[in-house]
Structure 1
Amino acid sequence: MAVFDPIQYKKIEREVYSLTAASYEKFGSTSFEAYAQPLLEGAQLKPGQHVLDVACGTGIPSLMVSPLVEPGGTVTGIDLAPGMIELAKKKAGERGLKNVTFQEADGESLPFADESFDTVLCNHGLVHMTDRAKALREMYRVLRKDYGILALSVWGTPDRALTIGIVAMAIREIWPAAVIPGAPMWFDFGPEGVLEKTLTDAGFRNPQTTTYSVSLVVKSGEEYWEGVLGISGRLQMLLKSIPQEAASKIKAKVIGTSENFRSQGQIEIPCKEIIAIARR
Protein backbone atom coordinates (compact mmCIF):
# COMPACT_ATOMS: atom_id res chain seq x y z
CA MET A 1 0.00 0.00 0.00
CA ALA A 2 1.28 3.47 -0.88
CA VAL A 3 2.31 5.70 2.02
CA PHE A 4 1.45 9.39 1.99
CA ASP A 5 4.49 11.68 1.93
CA PRO A 6 3.46 15.30 2.66
CA ILE A 7 6.79 16.76 1.52
CA GLN A 8 6.64 15.00 -1.83
CA TYR A 9 2.95 15.85 -2.13
CA LYS A 10 3.66 19.57 -1.77
CA LYS A 11 6.52 19.37 -4.23
CA ILE A 12 4.29 17.76 -6.84
CA GLU A 13 1.39 20.16 -6.20
CA ARG A 14 3.74 23.11 -6.61
CA GLU A 15 5.13 21.80 -9.89
CA VAL A 16 1.91 20.50 -11.42
CA TYR A 17 -0.23 23.53 -10.63
CA SER A 18 2.48 25.83 -11.95
CA LEU A 19 2.53 23.93 -15.23
CA THR A 20 -1.26 23.91 -15.50
CA ALA A 21 -1.90 27.54 -14.48
CA ALA A 22 -2.93 28.57 -18.00
CA SER A 23 -5.42 25.71 -18.41
CA TYR A 24 -6.72 26.34 -14.88
CA GLU A 25 -7.45 29.94 -15.87
CA LYS A 26 -8.94 28.96 -19.24
CA PHE A 27 -11.34 26.34 -17.94
CA GLY A 28 -11.90 27.47 -14.36
CA SER A 29 -12.20 31.25 -14.30
CA THR A 30 -15.97 31.44 -14.82
CA SER A 31 -16.88 28.60 -12.46
CA PHE A 32 -14.49 29.71 -9.72
CA GLU A 33 -15.89 33.24 -9.86
CA ALA A 34 -19.32 31.71 -9.27
CA TYR A 35 -17.98 29.61 -6.39
CA ALA A 36 -16.29 32.67 -4.85
CA GLN A 37 -19.30 35.00 -4.97
CA PRO A 38 -21.14 33.65 -1.88
CA LEU A 39 -17.79 33.51 -0.07
CA LEU A 40 -17.23 37.22 -0.59
CA GLU A 41 -20.80 38.04 0.42
CA GLY A 42 -20.36 36.13 3.67
CA ALA A 43 -17.07 37.87 4.42
CA GLN A 44 -18.85 41.25 4.78
CA LEU A 45 -15.98 43.11 3.13
CA LYS A 46 -15.71 46.87 3.64
CA PRO A 47 -13.57 49.73 2.32
CA GLY A 48 -10.25 50.06 4.11
CA GLN A 49 -9.94 46.42 5.11
CA HIS A 50 -6.82 44.34 4.62
CA VAL A 51 -7.59 40.92 3.16
CA LEU A 52 -5.51 37.77 2.74
CA ASP A 53 -6.48 35.26 0.05
CA VAL A 54 -4.93 31.87 0.90
CA ALA A 55 -4.35 29.44 -1.98
CA CYS A 56 -5.38 32.19 -4.39
CA GLY A 57 -4.60 30.25 -7.58
CA THR A 58 -4.65 32.61 -10.54
CA GLY A 59 -6.03 35.37 -8.33
CA ILE A 60 -9.72 34.97 -9.07
CA PRO A 61 -11.07 35.84 -5.56
CA SER A 62 -8.34 38.44 -4.96
CA LEU A 63 -9.22 40.40 -8.07
CA MET A 64 -12.91 40.27 -7.18
CA VAL A 65 -12.13 41.64 -3.71
CA SER A 66 -9.95 44.53 -4.90
CA PRO A 67 -12.72 47.08 -5.64
CA LEU A 68 -14.72 46.02 -2.58
CA VAL A 69 -12.06 47.24 -0.12
CA GLU A 70 -11.32 50.53 -1.84
CA PRO A 71 -10.46 53.14 -0.83
CA GLY A 72 -7.65 52.34 1.54
CA GLY A 73 -7.90 48.56 1.58
CA THR A 74 -5.45 45.98 0.32
CA VAL A 75 -5.56 42.40 -0.91
CA THR A 76 -2.68 39.94 -0.58
CA GLY A 77 -2.89 36.66 -2.47
CA ILE A 78 -0.63 33.72 -1.70
CA ASP A 79 -0.23 30.36 -3.41
CA LEU A 80 2.23 27.49 -3.29
CA ALA A 81 2.59 27.34 -7.08
CA PRO A 82 4.77 30.07 -8.65
CA GLY A 83 3.10 29.60 -12.03
CA MET A 84 -0.24 30.53 -10.50
CA ILE A 85 1.27 33.61 -8.85
CA GLU A 86 2.88 34.77 -12.09
CA LEU A 87 -0.46 34.60 -13.90
CA ALA A 88 -2.27 36.36 -11.04
CA LYS A 89 0.26 39.22 -11.14
CA LYS A 90 -0.17 39.52 -14.89
CA LYS A 91 -3.96 39.75 -14.60
CA ALA A 92 -3.75 42.40 -11.86
CA GLY A 93 -1.35 44.44 -13.98
CA GLU A 94 -3.57 44.21 -17.04
CA ARG A 95 -6.51 45.50 -15.00
CA GLY A 96 -4.48 48.30 -13.46
CA LEU A 97 -5.20 47.20 -9.89
CA LYS A 98 -2.89 48.94 -7.43
CA ASN A 99 -4.11 47.52 -4.13
CA VAL A 100 -3.46 43.84 -4.90
CA THR A 101 -0.18 41.97 -4.41
CA PHE A 102 0.67 38.32 -4.93
CA GLN A 103 3.47 36.19 -3.54
CA GLU A 104 4.50 32.57 -3.41
CA ALA A 105 3.91 31.13 0.06
CA ASP A 106 2.76 28.01 1.88
CA GLY A 107 -0.65 28.26 3.53
CA GLU A 108 0.64 26.13 6.40
CA SER A 109 3.40 28.66 7.19
CA LEU A 110 2.18 32.17 6.43
CA PRO A 111 4.96 34.79 6.14
CA PHE A 112 3.02 37.50 7.96
CA ALA A 113 3.02 38.99 11.44
CA ASP A 114 0.31 38.21 13.96
CA GLU A 115 -2.97 40.12 13.49
CA SER A 116 -2.04 41.48 10.05
CA PHE A 117 -5.43 41.07 8.35
CA ASP A 118 -9.08 41.94 8.91
CA THR A 119 -10.28 39.06 6.74
CA VAL A 120 -8.82 35.79 5.50
CA LEU A 121 -10.36 34.08 2.48
CA CYS A 122 -9.72 30.53 1.30
CA ASN A 123 -11.73 29.51 -1.76
CA HIS A 124 -11.53 25.71 -1.99
CA GLY A 125 -7.88 25.82 -0.94
CA LEU A 126 -8.03 24.09 2.44
CA VAL A 127 -8.58 20.70 0.78
CA HIS A 128 -5.11 20.98 -0.76
CA MET A 129 -3.31 21.45 2.57
CA THR A 130 -1.40 18.50 3.97
CA ASP A 131 -1.93 19.69 7.56
CA ARG A 132 -5.32 21.37 7.66
CA ALA A 133 -5.18 22.05 11.41
CA LYS A 134 -1.87 23.86 11.03
CA ALA A 135 -3.16 25.88 8.09
CA LEU A 136 -6.21 26.99 10.06
CA ARG A 137 -4.09 27.92 13.08
CA GLU A 138 -2.00 30.09 10.76
CA MET A 139 -5.10 31.79 9.39
CA TYR A 140 -6.25 32.36 12.97
CA ARG A 141 -2.87 33.82 13.93
CA VAL A 142 -2.77 36.45 11.19
CA LEU A 143 -6.34 37.65 11.79
CA ARG A 144 -7.10 40.70 13.93
CA LYS A 145 -8.02 39.69 17.45
CA ASP A 146 -11.71 39.69 18.40
CA TYR A 147 -13.13 40.85 15.07
CA GLY A 148 -11.12 39.18 12.30
CA ILE A 149 -13.25 37.10 9.94
CA LEU A 150 -12.38 33.84 8.21
CA ALA A 151 -14.41 32.97 5.12
CA LEU A 152 -13.66 29.68 3.42
CA SER A 153 -15.30 27.23 1.07
CA VAL A 154 -15.07 23.47 0.73
CA TRP A 155 -16.83 20.85 -1.36
CA GLY A 156 -19.78 18.84 -0.16
CA THR A 157 -19.72 15.04 -0.30
CA PRO A 158 -18.95 13.52 -3.74
CA ASP A 159 -22.59 12.64 -4.39
CA ARG A 160 -23.52 16.31 -3.85
CA ALA A 161 -20.50 18.16 -5.25
CA LEU A 162 -20.96 16.46 -8.59
CA THR A 163 -18.84 18.77 -10.72
CA ILE A 164 -15.84 16.97 -9.30
CA GLY A 165 -17.67 14.16 -7.51
CA ILE A 166 -18.37 12.45 -10.84
CA VAL A 167 -14.63 12.21 -11.41
CA ALA A 168 -13.83 11.09 -7.87
CA MET A 169 -16.44 8.33 -7.92
CA ALA A 170 -15.18 7.08 -11.29
CA ILE A 171 -11.62 6.90 -9.94
CA ARG A 172 -12.74 5.00 -6.83
CA GLU A 173 -14.64 2.52 -9.00
CA ILE A 174 -11.99 1.92 -11.67
CA TRP A 175 -8.68 2.53 -9.89
CA PRO A 176 -9.26 2.52 -6.09
CA ALA A 177 -5.52 2.22 -5.44
CA ALA A 178 -5.29 5.91 -6.38
CA VAL A 179 -6.78 6.78 -2.99
CA ILE A 180 -3.81 6.95 -0.59
CA PRO A 181 -4.64 6.83 3.14
CA GLY A 182 -3.74 10.11 4.82
CA ALA A 183 -3.60 12.12 1.60
CA PRO A 184 -5.79 15.24 1.33
CA MET A 185 -9.10 14.50 -0.35
CA TRP A 186 -11.47 16.95 -2.04
CA PHE A 187 -14.43 15.92 0.09
CA ASP A 188 -12.96 15.55 3.59
CA PHE A 189 -15.10 18.41 4.94
CA GLY A 190 -18.31 17.39 3.19
CA PRO A 191 -19.89 15.29 5.97
CA GLU A 192 -22.15 17.22 8.34
CA GLY A 193 -20.39 18.82 11.29
CA VAL A 194 -16.82 18.07 10.22
CA LEU A 195 -15.95 21.58 9.08
CA GLU A 196 -17.50 23.26 12.12
CA LYS A 197 -15.56 21.02 14.52
CA THR A 198 -12.32 21.55 12.62
CA LEU A 199 -12.72 25.32 12.82
CA THR A 200 -13.62 25.25 16.51
CA ASP A 201 -10.61 23.04 17.27
CA ALA A 202 -8.41 25.65 15.55
CA GLY A 203 -9.71 28.35 17.92
CA PHE A 204 -12.35 30.05 15.79
CA ARG A 205 -15.56 31.28 17.42
CA ASN A 206 -19.08 30.32 16.43
CA PRO A 207 -18.45 28.98 12.91
CA GLN A 208 -21.54 29.18 10.71
CA THR A 209 -21.88 27.08 7.57
CA THR A 210 -24.22 27.47 4.61
CA THR A 211 -24.59 25.15 1.63
CA TYR A 212 -24.86 26.73 -1.80
CA SER A 213 -25.78 25.22 -5.16
CA VAL A 214 -23.68 26.22 -8.16
CA SER A 215 -24.27 24.41 -11.45
CA LEU A 216 -21.71 23.83 -14.18
CA VAL A 217 -23.18 24.17 -17.67
CA VAL A 218 -21.37 22.64 -20.67
CA LYS A 219 -22.32 21.57 -24.18
CA SER A 220 -21.01 18.01 -24.02
CA GLY A 221 -19.44 15.35 -21.85
CA GLU A 222 -16.16 15.89 -23.69
CA GLU A 223 -16.22 19.59 -22.82
CA TYR A 224 -16.88 18.70 -19.18
CA TRP A 225 -13.97 16.26 -19.12
CA GLU A 226 -11.57 18.74 -20.70
CA GLY A 227 -12.65 21.41 -18.24
CA VAL A 228 -12.21 19.29 -15.12
CA LEU A 229 -8.90 18.01 -16.42
CA GLY A 230 -7.81 21.56 -17.18
CA ILE A 231 -8.36 22.90 -13.66
CA SER A 232 -7.01 19.90 -11.75
CA GLY A 233 -3.29 19.38 -11.84
CA ARG A 234 -3.82 16.57 -9.36
CA LEU A 235 -6.09 14.72 -11.80
CA GLN A 236 -3.62 15.18 -14.64
CA MET A 237 -0.87 13.78 -12.45
CA LEU A 238 -3.00 10.77 -11.49
CA LEU A 239 -3.93 9.87 -15.06
CA LYS A 240 -0.27 9.88 -16.07
CA SER A 241 0.65 7.57 -13.19
CA ILE A 242 -1.80 4.73 -13.88
CA PRO A 243 -2.11 2.29 -16.81
CA GLN A 244 -3.47 3.88 -19.98
CA GLU A 245 -6.36 1.43 -20.08
CA ALA A 246 -7.50 2.50 -16.61
CA ALA A 247 -7.15 6.18 -17.49
CA SER A 248 -9.25 5.65 -20.62
CA LYS A 249 -11.93 3.85 -18.61
CA ILE A 250 -12.07 6.72 -16.11
CA LYS A 251 -12.47 9.23 -18.92
CA ALA A 252 -15.24 7.19 -20.56
CA LYS A 253 -17.04 6.73 -17.25
CA VAL A 254 -16.88 10.45 -16.45
CA ILE A 255 -18.14 11.49 -19.88
CA GLY A 256 -20.92 8.90 -19.82
CA THR A 257 -22.08 9.91 -16.35
CA SER A 258 -22.07 13.60 -17.21
CA GLU A 259 -24.38 12.93 -20.16
CA ASN A 260 -27.02 11.79 -17.66
CA PHE A 261 -27.46 15.47 -16.80
CA ARG A 262 -28.27 16.53 -20.35
CA SER A 263 -31.41 18.59 -20.81
CA GLN A 264 -32.56 20.92 -23.58
CA GLY A 265 -29.37 20.63 -25.57
CA GLN A 266 -26.88 21.16 -22.76
CA ILE A 267 -25.44 19.45 -19.71
CA GLU A 268 -26.04 21.06 -16.31
CA ILE A 269 -24.16 19.40 -13.47
CA PRO A 270 -25.20 20.44 -9.94
CA CYS A 271 -22.64 21.10 -7.24
CA LYS A 272 -22.97 21.78 -3.53
CA GLU A 273 -20.30 23.87 -1.87
CA ILE A 274 -20.13 24.70 1.81
CA ILE A 275 -19.27 28.23 2.91
CA ALA A 276 -18.04 28.74 6.47
CA ILE A 277 -17.82 32.09 8.24
CA ALA A 278 -16.03 32.24 11.59
CA ARG A 279 -14.44 34.86 13.84
CA ARG A 280 -11.19 34.88 15.70
Structure 2
Amino acid sequence: MTVASDPIVFKRTTRAQWEDAAEAWHRWGPAIEDWLGSATATMLEAARIGEDDRVLDVAAGAGGQTIAAARLAGPGGRVLATDISPAILAYAAVVAAEAGVSVETLEADGEDLSVLAEGSFDAAISRVGLIYFPDQQAALRGIHRALRPGGRLSAVVYSTPDRNGFFSIPVGIIRRRAELPPPLPGQPGPFSLGAPGVAEQAFTDAGFRDVTVTTVESPVRMATAADCVRFERESFGALHQMLSRLDDVGREEAWQEITEQLAQFETGAGFVGPCEMLVVTGAR
Protein backbone atom coordinates (compact mmCIF):
# COMPACT_ATOMS: atom_id res chain seq x y z
CA MET A 1 0.00 0.00 0.00
CA THR A 2 1.41 3.40 -0.97
CA VAL A 3 1.29 6.49 1.20
CA ALA A 4 -1.10 8.16 -1.23
CA SER A 5 -3.53 5.21 -1.12
CA ASP A 6 -3.70 5.22 2.70
CA PRO A 7 -5.46 8.46 3.76
CA ILE A 8 -4.36 8.20 7.39
CA VAL A 9 -0.69 7.76 6.51
CA PHE A 10 -0.94 10.43 3.82
CA LYS A 11 -2.37 12.99 6.25
CA ARG A 12 0.17 12.19 8.93
CA THR A 13 2.99 12.54 6.42
CA THR A 14 1.52 15.72 4.95
CA ARG A 15 1.18 17.31 8.38
CA ALA A 16 4.78 16.47 9.25
CA GLN A 17 6.09 17.85 5.97
CA TRP A 18 4.18 21.12 6.31
CA GLU A 19 5.46 21.43 9.86
CA ASP A 20 8.96 21.17 8.38
CA ALA A 21 8.22 23.50 5.46
CA ALA A 22 6.34 26.15 7.47
CA GLU A 23 9.33 28.44 7.99
CA ALA A 24 10.31 28.29 4.33
CA TRP A 25 6.72 28.90 3.13
CA HIS A 26 6.62 31.95 5.41
CA ARG A 27 10.05 33.16 4.26
CA TRP A 28 9.06 32.85 0.61
CA GLY A 29 5.83 34.74 1.32
CA PRO A 30 6.53 37.79 -0.90
CA ALA A 31 7.40 35.54 -3.86
CA ILE A 32 4.27 33.47 -3.27
CA GLU A 33 2.07 36.56 -3.24
CA ASP A 34 3.67 37.81 -6.47
CA TRP A 35 3.05 34.43 -8.06
CA LEU A 36 -0.50 33.87 -6.78
CA GLY A 37 -1.62 37.49 -6.52
CA SER A 38 -3.85 37.52 -9.60
CA ALA A 39 -5.47 34.18 -8.76
CA THR A 40 -6.01 35.32 -5.17
CA ALA A 41 -7.68 38.56 -6.26
CA THR A 42 -9.94 36.61 -8.61
CA MET A 43 -10.82 34.16 -5.82
CA LEU A 44 -11.68 36.91 -3.33
CA GLU A 45 -13.82 38.76 -5.84
CA ALA A 46 -15.65 35.55 -6.77
CA ALA A 47 -16.31 34.80 -3.08
CA ARG A 48 -17.95 38.25 -2.83
CA ILE A 49 -16.39 39.05 0.54
CA GLY A 50 -17.66 42.33 1.93
CA GLU A 51 -17.64 44.46 5.07
CA ASP A 52 -18.53 42.56 8.26
CA ASP A 53 -18.53 39.17 6.53
CA ARG A 54 -17.59 35.96 8.30
CA VAL A 55 -14.93 34.19 6.20
CA LEU A 56 -13.56 30.65 6.47
CA ASP A 57 -10.13 29.94 4.97
CA VAL A 58 -9.49 26.19 4.59
CA ALA A 59 -5.88 24.95 4.31
CA ALA A 60 -4.80 28.54 4.87
CA GLY A 61 -1.05 27.96 4.98
CA ALA A 62 0.99 31.01 5.92
CA GLY A 63 -2.00 33.23 5.34
CA GLY A 64 -1.36 35.71 2.53
CA GLN A 65 -4.87 35.26 1.18
CA THR A 66 -6.25 35.23 4.74
CA ILE A 67 -4.93 38.73 5.32
CA ALA A 68 -6.39 39.95 2.04
CA ALA A 69 -9.79 38.51 3.06
CA ALA A 70 -9.54 40.18 6.49
CA ARG A 71 -8.95 43.55 4.87
CA LEU A 72 -12.11 43.09 2.80
CA ALA A 73 -14.17 41.98 5.79
CA GLY A 74 -12.94 44.92 7.85
CA PRO A 75 -12.85 45.30 11.63
CA GLY A 76 -16.46 44.17 11.93
CA GLY A 77 -15.84 40.91 10.12
CA ARG A 78 -14.46 37.59 11.26
CA VAL A 79 -11.83 35.54 9.41
CA LEU A 80 -10.95 32.03 10.56
CA ALA A 81 -7.85 30.36 9.10
CA THR A 82 -7.73 26.56 9.43
CA ASP A 83 -4.87 24.25 8.57
CA ILE A 84 -3.59 20.80 9.50
CA SER A 85 -0.21 22.28 10.48
CA PRO A 86 -0.04 24.30 13.71
CA ALA A 87 3.43 25.59 12.81
CA ILE A 88 2.26 27.20 9.59
CA LEU A 89 -0.77 28.69 11.38
CA ALA A 90 1.59 30.28 13.89
CA TYR A 91 3.30 32.09 11.02
CA ALA A 92 -0.11 33.13 9.65
CA ALA A 93 -0.97 34.67 13.02
CA VAL A 94 2.31 36.58 13.10
CA VAL A 95 1.86 37.91 9.57
CA ALA A 96 -1.71 38.98 10.33
CA ALA A 97 -0.60 40.84 13.46
CA GLU A 98 2.16 42.58 11.50
CA ALA A 99 -0.42 43.58 8.87
CA GLY A 100 -2.69 45.00 11.55
CA VAL A 101 -5.68 42.78 10.79
CA SER A 102 -7.64 40.43 13.03
CA VAL A 103 -7.43 36.75 12.08
CA GLU A 104 -8.37 33.71 14.15
CA THR A 105 -6.56 30.40 13.63
CA LEU A 106 -7.71 26.84 14.22
CA GLU A 107 -5.73 23.64 13.76
CA ALA A 108 -8.20 21.45 11.90
CA ASP A 109 -8.35 18.70 9.31
CA GLY A 110 -10.04 20.25 6.29
CA GLU A 111 -12.01 17.04 5.81
CA ASP A 112 -13.59 17.35 9.25
CA LEU A 113 -15.03 20.78 9.97
CA SER A 114 -17.78 19.47 12.28
CA VAL A 115 -16.52 21.76 15.05
CA LEU A 116 -17.88 24.72 13.05
CA ALA A 117 -21.54 25.62 13.47
CA GLU A 118 -23.73 25.04 10.44
CA GLY A 119 -24.35 28.18 8.40
CA SER A 120 -21.87 30.23 10.41
CA PHE A 121 -19.89 31.75 7.49
CA ASP A 122 -20.80 34.09 4.66
CA ALA A 123 -17.90 33.04 2.44
CA ALA A 124 -15.17 30.42 2.26
CA ILE A 125 -11.86 30.37 0.40
CA SER A 126 -9.10 27.83 -0.17
CA ARG A 127 -5.87 28.54 -2.04
CA VAL A 128 -4.03 25.52 -3.46
CA GLY A 129 -5.34 23.33 -0.63
CA LEU A 130 -8.27 21.19 -1.79
CA ILE A 131 -6.08 19.38 -4.30
CA TYR A 132 -4.15 17.64 -1.51
CA PHE A 133 -7.16 16.31 0.43
CA PRO A 134 -7.56 12.51 0.14
CA ASP A 135 -11.35 12.92 0.48
CA GLN A 136 -12.17 16.10 -1.40
CA GLN A 137 -15.90 15.43 -1.13
CA ALA A 138 -15.72 15.34 2.66
CA ALA A 139 -13.93 18.69 2.62
CA LEU A 140 -16.36 20.28 0.16
CA ARG A 141 -19.42 18.98 2.02
CA GLY A 142 -18.00 20.30 5.29
CA ILE A 143 -17.44 23.74 3.79
CA HIS A 144 -20.91 23.66 2.24
CA ARG A 145 -22.40 22.91 5.67
CA ALA A 146 -20.45 25.76 7.31
CA LEU A 147 -21.77 28.32 4.83
CA ARG A 148 -25.06 30.14 5.21
CA PRO A 149 -27.59 29.70 2.40
CA GLY A 150 -26.29 31.79 -0.49
CA GLY A 151 -22.76 31.82 0.92
CA ARG A 152 -20.00 31.21 -1.59
CA LEU A 153 -16.89 29.04 -1.73
CA SER A 154 -14.08 30.05 -4.07
CA ALA A 155 -10.93 27.97 -4.41
CA VAL A 156 -7.68 28.20 -6.37
CA VAL A 157 -6.40 24.95 -7.89
CA TYR A 158 -3.89 24.05 -10.60
CA SER A 159 -5.16 23.28 -14.09
CA THR A 160 -3.55 20.49 -16.13
CA PRO A 161 0.11 19.36 -16.04
CA ASP A 162 0.80 20.58 -19.58
CA ARG A 163 -0.08 24.13 -18.49
CA ASN A 164 2.09 23.99 -15.37
CA GLY A 165 5.57 23.07 -16.48
CA PHE A 166 7.28 24.71 -13.49
CA PHE A 167 5.67 22.04 -11.29
CA SER A 168 4.79 19.14 -13.60
CA ILE A 169 8.35 18.77 -14.87
CA PRO A 170 9.75 18.24 -11.35
CA VAL A 171 6.86 15.88 -10.57
CA GLY A 172 7.54 13.85 -13.72
CA ILE A 173 11.28 13.61 -13.05
CA ILE A 174 10.77 12.51 -9.46
CA ARG A 175 8.09 9.97 -10.43
CA ARG A 176 10.43 8.41 -12.97
CA ARG A 177 13.45 8.32 -10.68
CA ALA A 178 11.49 7.05 -7.67
CA GLU A 179 9.58 4.57 -9.86
CA LEU A 180 6.25 5.91 -8.67
CA PRO A 181 3.10 4.89 -10.55
CA PRO A 182 0.94 7.61 -12.10
CA PRO A 183 -1.77 8.89 -9.76
CA LEU A 184 -5.10 7.11 -9.94
CA PRO A 185 -8.29 9.11 -10.50
CA GLY A 186 -9.43 10.58 -7.21
CA GLN A 187 -6.01 10.46 -5.55
CA PRO A 188 -4.75 13.71 -4.02
CA GLY A 189 -2.13 15.68 -5.88
CA PRO A 190 -1.40 19.03 -7.50
CA PHE A 191 -3.40 18.36 -10.66
CA SER A 192 -6.24 16.32 -9.13
CA LEU A 193 -8.89 18.97 -9.93
CA GLY A 194 -7.36 20.35 -13.12
CA ALA A 195 -8.84 18.25 -15.92
CA PRO A 196 -11.82 19.75 -17.76
CA GLY A 197 -15.04 19.33 -15.82
CA VAL A 198 -13.50 17.66 -12.76
CA ALA A 199 -13.63 20.62 -10.37
CA GLU A 200 -17.12 21.60 -11.51
CA GLN A 201 -18.37 18.06 -10.90
CA ALA A 202 -16.74 17.90 -7.47
CA PHE A 203 -18.40 21.14 -6.38
CA THR A 204 -21.76 20.06 -7.80
CA ASP A 205 -21.60 16.65 -6.13
CA ALA A 206 -21.02 18.39 -2.78
CA GLY A 207 -24.20 20.43 -3.21
CA PHE A 208 -22.86 23.70 -4.62
CA ARG A 209 -24.86 25.48 -7.30
CA ASP A 210 -24.04 28.05 -9.97
CA VAL A 211 -20.51 26.62 -10.23
CA THR A 212 -18.08 28.61 -12.38
CA VAL A 213 -14.42 28.15 -13.34
CA THR A 214 -12.13 31.04 -14.26
CA THR A 215 -8.68 30.47 -15.75
CA VAL A 216 -5.90 32.71 -14.42
CA GLU A 217 -2.41 32.74 -15.94
CA SER A 218 0.00 32.69 -12.99
CA PRO A 219 3.60 32.46 -14.25
CA VAL A 220 6.31 31.95 -11.66
CA ARG A 221 8.80 34.78 -12.17
CA MET A 222 12.25 34.58 -10.62
CA ALA A 223 15.79 35.54 -11.54
CA THR A 224 16.91 32.05 -12.60
CA ALA A 225 15.71 28.46 -12.83
CA ALA A 226 17.96 27.68 -9.87
CA ASP A 227 15.97 30.16 -7.78
CA CYS A 228 12.72 28.42 -8.71
CA VAL A 229 14.24 25.06 -7.79
CA ARG A 230 15.37 26.45 -4.44
CA PHE A 231 11.82 27.71 -3.84
CA GLU A 232 10.33 24.31 -4.67
CA ARG A 233 13.01 22.41 -2.78
CA GLU A 234 12.47 24.39 0.40
CA SER A 235 8.71 24.88 0.27
CA PHE A 236 6.85 22.23 -1.74
CA GLY A 237 5.82 19.44 0.61
CA ALA A 238 4.34 17.37 -2.23
CA LEU A 239 7.75 17.01 -3.88
CA HIS A 240 9.42 16.00 -0.63
CA GLN A 241 6.76 13.35 -0.12
CA MET A 242 7.57 11.85 -3.52
CA LEU A 243 11.33 12.09 -2.97
CA SER A 244 11.16 10.06 0.24
CA ARG A 245 11.74 6.86 -1.75
CA LEU A 246 15.18 8.02 -2.87
CA ASP A 247 18.42 8.11 -0.88
CA ASP A 248 20.42 11.30 -0.45
CA VAL A 249 22.39 10.79 -3.65
CA GLY A 250 19.23 10.00 -5.60
CA ARG A 251 17.55 13.16 -4.31
CA GLU A 252 20.48 15.36 -5.31
CA GLU A 253 20.57 13.81 -8.77
CA ALA A 254 16.83 14.44 -9.14
CA TRP A 255 17.17 18.10 -8.16
CA GLN A 256 20.07 18.51 -10.58
CA GLU A 257 17.98 17.12 -13.45
CA ILE A 258 15.06 19.34 -12.44
CA THR A 259 17.32 22.41 -12.53
CA GLU A 260 18.61 21.47 -15.98
CA GLN A 261 15.10 20.93 -17.35
CA LEU A 262 13.61 24.10 -15.87
CA ALA A 263 16.41 26.13 -17.44
CA GLN A 264 14.39 26.01 -20.68
CA PHE A 265 12.14 28.67 -19.14
CA GLU A 266 14.93 31.20 -18.62
CA THR A 267 14.51 34.30 -20.78
CA GLY A 268 16.22 37.62 -21.17
CA ALA A 269 13.91 38.88 -18.43
CA GLY A 270 14.73 36.01 -16.09
CA PHE A 271 12.95 32.76 -15.31
CA VAL A 272 9.27 32.58 -16.31
CA GLY A 273 7.80 29.23 -15.28
CA PRO A 274 4.50 28.28 -16.93
CA CYS A 275 1.64 28.09 -14.45
CA GLU A 276 -2.11 28.21 -14.94
CA MET A 277 -4.57 28.31 -12.08
CA LEU A 278 -8.32 27.71 -11.99
CA VAL A 279 -10.58 29.66 -9.66
CA VAL A 280 -13.56 27.43 -8.92
CA THR A 281 -16.58 29.03 -7.28
CA GLY A 282 -19.97 27.82 -6.13
CA ALA A 283 -22.83 28.91 -3.87
CA ARG A 284 -24.66 27.03 -1.16
Q: TM-score range by the shorter chain?
A: over 0.9
Q: CA, structure 1 residues 265+47, in 2 after alignment: closer, same or farther (shift >3 Å)?
A: closer
Q: In the alignment, what sits opposite 2:164? A: 161
Do the aligned partners of 1:27 and 1:230 also contact (CA within 8 Å) in 2? no
Q: In the alignment, what sits opposite 2:71? A: 67
Q: In 2, distance between residues paired with 1:259 and 1:180?
A: 26
Q: CA, structure 1 residues 104+31, in 2 after alignment: closer, same or farther (shift >3 Å)?
A: same
Q: Verify: 1:43 aligned to 2:47, yes or no.
A: yes
Do the aligned partners of 2:29 and 2:64 also contact (CA within 8 Å) in 1? no
- What letter is aligned with 2:245? S
Query: What secondary structure does 2:126 align onto?
Result: strand
Residue segments in structure 2 that go unaligned for 5+ positions in a row:
none
Q: Given the alignment, which residue of 217, 221, 226 partners 1:213?
A: 217
Q: CA deviation at 1:163?
A: 2.7
Do the aligned partners of 2:175 and 2:242 also contact (CA within 8 Å) in 1? no
TM-score by length of 1: 0.93
Q: CA deviation at 1:156?
A: 0.8
Q: CA, structure 1 residues 243+19, in 2 after alignment: closer, same or farther (shift >3 Å)?
A: closer
Q: CA, structure 1 residues 176+156, in 2 after alignment: closer, same or farther (shift >3 Å)?
A: farther
What aligned pairs does 1:84-123 form with structure 2 within 5 A after superposition? 84-98=88-102, 100-110=103-113, 111-123=115-127
Q: In the alignment, what sits opposite 1:184? A: 188
Q: In the alignment, what sits opposite 1:238? A: 242
Query: What secondary structure does 2:196 align onto?
Result: coil
Do the aligned partners of 2:219 and 2:272 also contact (CA within 8 Å) in 1? yes
Q: Mean Cα displacement is larger for which, 126-135 or 24-33?
A: 24-33
Q: In the alignment, what sits opposite 1:144? A: 148
Q: In 2, distance between residues paired with 1:252 and 1:26?
A: 23
Q: Verify: 1:126 aligned to 2:130, yes or no.
A: yes
Q: CA deviation at 1:71?
A: 4.2
Q: In 2, distance between residues paired with 1:23 and 1:178?
A: 29
Q: Verify: 1:277 aligned to 2:278, yes or no.
A: no
Q: In the alignment, what sits opposite 2:19? A: 18
Q: CA deviation at 1:228?
A: 1.0
Q: In 2, distance between residues paired with 1:212 and 1:183?
A: 24
- What letter is aligned with 1:47? E
TM-score by length of 2: 0.92
Deviation string, structure 1 residues 154-192 (Cα, Å, up to 9, x no partner)? 101111122312211222333332656564111011110
Q: CA deviation at 1:237?
A: 3.6
Q: In the alignment, what sits opposite 2:262? A: 258
Do the aligned partners of 2:56 and 2:79 also contact (CA within 8 Å) in 1? yes
Deviation string, structure 1 residues 54-83 (Cα, Å, up to 9, x no partner)? 000011111111111114111110000011
Q: In 2, distance between residues paired with 1:38 and 1:265?
A: 26
Q: In the alignment, what sits opposite 2:2? A: 2
- What letter is aligned with 2:198? V
Query: What secondary structure does 1:7 align onto?
Result: helix
Q: In 2, distance between residues paired with 1:215 and 1:180?
A: 25
Deviation string, structure 1 residues 179-220 (Cα, Å, up to 9, x no partner)? 565641110111101111111111100210011101111122
Identity, % of aligned positions: 29
Q: In 2, distance between residues paired with 1:87 and 1:96?
A: 14
Q: In 1, distance between residues paired with 2:66 and 2:211?
A: 23
Deviation string, structure 1 residues 233-257 (Cα, Å, up to 9, x no partner)? 2322432431334323321222112
Query: What secondary structure does 2:28 align onto?
Result: helix
Q: CA deviation at 1:95?
A: 2.6
Query: What secondary structure does 1:159 align onto?
Result: helix
Q: Mean Cα displacement is larger for which, 227-236 or 119-128?
A: 227-236
Query: What secondary structure does 1:277 align onto?
Result: strand
Query: What secondary structure does 2:254 align onto?
Result: helix
Q: In 2, distance between residues paired with 1:94 and 1:220?
A: 30
Q: In the alignment, what sits opposite 2:59? A: 55
Residue segments in structure 1 that go unaligned for 5+ positions in a row:
none
